[in-house]
Structure 1
Amino acid sequence: MSPSLSLDHLPSLKDLFRLFLSGKHLNRMAEPALWAELEQQEQTYVALFSALGYTLRIDARGFAWFHHDDANSAIGKTSRQLALVFMVIFEAQANAGKPLLRFTDWLIDLEWLGEVHAQQQEVLNAEGISEEGLAELFRRASSLGFATVESGGWRLLPAVFRYLDHFEALAALTQDESLNESSDGALDELDTDVESEDEA
């Protein structure tokens, strides 16, 4: 990074740094102005944050985040529960014939979440996720940049591609591998970047 770098070209530096430092993802759909600046000054932001000790990852599908390389072997509660919720949602939509790559088009409301919980009650209850808990997890997903509130429900944001990519990798594994072992390994990277909550 050049020592003569002018911060005048980075008017949203403070906002972007605060957003990424909080563990949130920046999404082009939700924050178009911030995204436009990040895209325009991508090399400068990557270099600046790197000099500060942070790794900025920018995905061309429309999201960015601070990536952490120090993988934690223990999957945080929030990260695990979000992964499970997104997985059952993708399964429900696949069963309904919806194209998974268009998940940003889906409007997810409380009534539909109730139907999903009824369909997947056993697996969700095993993780301690009640019907009300689904809504709470979506509020958490919104705070982390995975969803946005819209029309009495939520809409998934491009950052959910991080989970979908892992689900597709899991699906490609041979059937004789244990799902739990595979899930723990595939989600380790996600857990290092997603703020976790260990309290009930």
Structure 2
Amino acid sequence: MAKPTSCCTGSRGCRGTSASPVNASSVANISPGSTASACAPLPCSPQKTSSQSIPRALFMHLDLSEMSQLAPIFRELFKGYHISRRDPELYAQLSNCQDQYRALFKALGYELICDTRGFYYFVPELAAAQVNKTAQRLALFTFILVEHLADQGRDPMAVLDGGSLGRDELPSMLEKYRDLFLQAEVQTQEELEEKIMRRMTQLGFASEEVGIYRFLPPMHRFLDVCLSVQQDRDLAASLHSALPLPTPVLIDDDSDEKLLETDDPLDLAEFGEETEEEALARAIADEQRQEMDT
């Protein structure tokens, strides 16, 4: 087992250098053993100039047998999910092999972010990232919730940092902030639960048990935005202003129509239209062709 590495000590988030995109997402559906056997025979030789190839030298320095949770980790991160201590096996593996995973994902074109407060996630290349509906909705809901809790005399930080919200509180929130929820295309409790609360659980920001939503460490991404806004101006004023709310960058440019058609919680068009199997098969075939040419 690799020696555990600290989670970006001294900073809230740690970003690696973005690599050229390589749609090798089929790691998600291939077992660690088969991944290792597919990649291990590739010799360490100078990498040819190709944005679609995985550097051979990388696999000479990575022990894929130690990365026993590679498939489920990649699958969840690829969907935009945030891995936290609520996912003990995946979180422990990322913590113990953090450098190896960051190097591998960087070579595949993904940026693994480690937040010191206990969660991991992918972000798209920041230069090309665009605010999407999911990020807008979750940010707006967080701002509304902070104001709602403050009006009730409850500590928003205590609630959003591991606290909980009852499903029975949603109707009153929807009624009180109806005009704001309209900005997120939410008019009914069913839409609130489907477009916001369900998304939060799918992406690892919250969990739901028996009508109770419990907030998880990744909620700090939205709390950070709220706190930064409060430092500049009154939160309520920013909520009711016509200016767009700042939002964290999420891997998701969702389409409700596509969601209904595919039952996939996220629109992954940002990473291309190839299936995960096709992408990795193409990347490996490209490496093998280059090997035959050398």
Per the normalisation by structure 2, the TM-score is 0.60
Matched residues in 2 for 1:94 and 1:33: separation? 36
- Map of 1:149 onto structure 2: 208
- Return the offset for 1:98: 2.8
Q: From 145, 151, 166, give the equivalent of 1:95.
A: 151
- Return the offset for 1:168: 1.1
Q: How does 1:49-68 map to 2 (within 5 A)?
A: 49-68=105-124
Point out where structure 1 has 5 or more consecutive residues left out of the alignment: none
- Map of 1:78 onto structure 2: 134
Matched residues in 1 for 2:173 and 2:128: separation? 31
Question: Do residues 134 (structure 1) and 192 (structure 2) align?
Answer: yes
- Map of 1:195 onto structure 2: 252
Percent of pairs with identical residues: 27
- Map of 1:10 onto structure 2: 67
- Return the offset for 1:126: 4.0
2:77/2:121 contact within 8 Å kept: yes
2:161/2:220 contact within 8 Å kept: no
Question: Do residues 110 (structure 1) and 167 (structure 2) align?
Answer: yes
1:78/1:198 contact within 8 Å kept: no
1:104/1:155 contact within 8 Å kept: no
Point out where structure 2 has 5 or more consecutive residues left out of the alignment: 1-57, 258-294
Equivalenced residue count is 193
Distance 1:197 1:12, change over 3 A: same
2:149/2:156 contact within 8 Å kept: yes
- Return the offset for 1:64: 0.9
- Return the offset for 1:71: 4.2
1:145/1:159 contact within 8 Å kept: yes
Secondary structure at the aligned position of 1:108 is classed as strand
Question: Do residues 163 (structure 1) and 222 (structure 2) align?
Answer: yes
Matched residues in 2 for 1:71 and 1:165: separation? 22
Secondary structure at the aligned position of 1:172 is classed as helix
Matched residues in 2 for 1:124 and 1:108: separation? 18
Q: Which amino acid aligns with 2:134?
A: T
1:107/1:154 contact within 8 Å kept: yes
Q: Which amino acid aligns with 2:108?
A: L
Matched residues in 1 for 2:84 and 2:218: separation? 7
Matched residues in 1 for 2:102 and 2:241: separation? 36
For residues 144-168 of structure 1, what are the alpha-carbon distances to aligned partners after superposition, in whole Å with 9 as ceiling and x for unaligned?
Answer: 1111112323211111111110111
Q: Which has the higher contact order (CA 8 A, sep 6+)?
A: 1
- Return the offset for 1:4: 3.7
- Map of 2:79 onto structure 1: 22
Q: Which amino acid aligns with 1:9?
A: E
1:61/1:158 contact within 8 Å kept: yes
For residues 3-50 of structure 1, what are the alpha-carbon distances to aligned partners after superposition, in whole Å with 9 as ceiling and x for unaligned?
Answer: 14211111001110111111111121x201211111111111111111
Q: Which amino acid aligns with 1:82?
A: L
Matched residues in 1 for 2:140 and 2:233: separation? 20
Q: Which moved more, 1:37-46 or 1:98-107?
A: 98-107
Q: Which amino acid aligns with 2:102?
A: V
Matched residues in 2 for 1:179 and 1:3: separation? 54
The RMSD of aligned alpha carbons is 2.4
| Runs of 4+ more than 3 Å apart | 174-182
